[in-house]
Structure 1
């Protein structure tokens, strides 16, 4: 079959002398003529048109909305009824389960709102005898139940393994180490749960060579050491702000996450005026915090001045002579604070 196609290699080939009908091709760029005169040429019909600009925009909006709805066809979701419906589940009605949460420094009595077996919301349990406030972290902990990246099973050398294999190999290895008199190290975070502490103690009784190491990402060892030195027992002080008439904070954001937080419930009870009285709050801090934003008097100081302020207040309360270099303005504020504490 012969090839009748012709290719133009340069502009000289594309000339009217060499190519016949080139003028017709130029004139027929659009094969079908666009009927512009049919709807713009007749000025009389165009001027007498009854369609206003508002109607045009209305039709345009309706057509756009219709096209959008037609393109957004959702998937078909079928509701399959229970074969044997549990007595405690009624479709459309939520169930509430009372429980507790211990996550880091967050401890609270909570109510878990549940729909068809799925927890959807955490609320504060006001009926609990010891009822601490639920902060933002406690409310957000519901998302941990739907975390697709959390471990669903034990891991060994980076690969998933079964619980049966994990239990078998762990017991075998612990027995082997215990018989060889080697040291078993149990590394955990800080636990406030009596049940967890009892399990750790039982573990130590079964294996006599167990060393329990507690390590936290954010350490409170300084506060623990100070408490132990003062009271002879290692622990963290728990402050009841609902009994305080005057709160003086030096760099401690107790409404935020200072020592784990949880003090905002007692603090807010005394910040509501009752019979013309409410607690007074003085905050010395370097950065703006929630506690400073809610204080009556906020004094912005340098980080290096916070210890000097604390030492100055301590010295004046217990009548100790210390040469502390503070600015005149800051010293007057400290003196005023001490007078409020003593009165």
Structure 2
């Protein structure tokens, strides 16, 4: 069945309902304050409007923090992790308190041309003591003192004005140009005078960060250091080291000259090239242990000293005999140079 113009309010679009509600609210609050009229209009027309305070029941006022809607602390403010909304590389801001890069010194001809003259270091207040002078004086002396007091007061007022003006100009400089003046002066200029205190702070901060980074690098290098044998670096190649030195464990003194038998293979140990029959040093040590280092016989009292002479091998005897014959031949040739 077709409906006419006299349909219900439910069939009206949302825009027309909001317009009619807004018109009604404005008509009701025609004589109210404009702020109250705007608040009433927003309450009746804005669908996203929500009051920050939760409605309370009763005649007691209870202060509560709004925990719902579009006000803090919302769900995204208290329970949303940073992982769900990561910071993009293009929108990340460097967490540094250094001035922006465009204020850095760039060989501008205007560098360090702006300066604020410092205030006087010592303000002379001797004229105040002259006011307290009530002693007898000649008219000429009193006049001279009057001129000094007048000049001193003028100088004091000038110094006072210069001090106030210096403080005012420095406050304006700190508020208007806290990070420096582009192309003129800034805390990154080494010869700056206006930002000397800030420059010293940044220099101390940079030195602290450099020291901290150096200590951190050494600590990380120590914690992450691994031996070549553990990390299998150059595995299977000749390490060019002494025996067992590439193993990172406690090792004994291993020297080929002191411990030659540790460097013998199985064949050399089982079949040595030279087998000593009798060692005079070992025999002398054993006998000294037996007689307890006594040089005399405890019964007869005679001297008890033995010599330990070792017979030479046949090869050594032949080599000495051959050397003796060759020496004799050379001697005979020197005596008779004409004979062959």
Tell me the TM-score normalised to structure 2 length.
0.16
- Please report the TM-score for the alignment, with normalisation by the length of structure 1: 0.16
Compare CA radii of gyration and give the structure with the larger one.
2
Question: Which structure: greater helix fraction?
Answer: 2
Work out which structure has the larger RCO, using CA pairs closer than 8 Å and 6 or more positions apart in sequence: 2
Q: Which structure shows the higher strand fraction?
A: 1
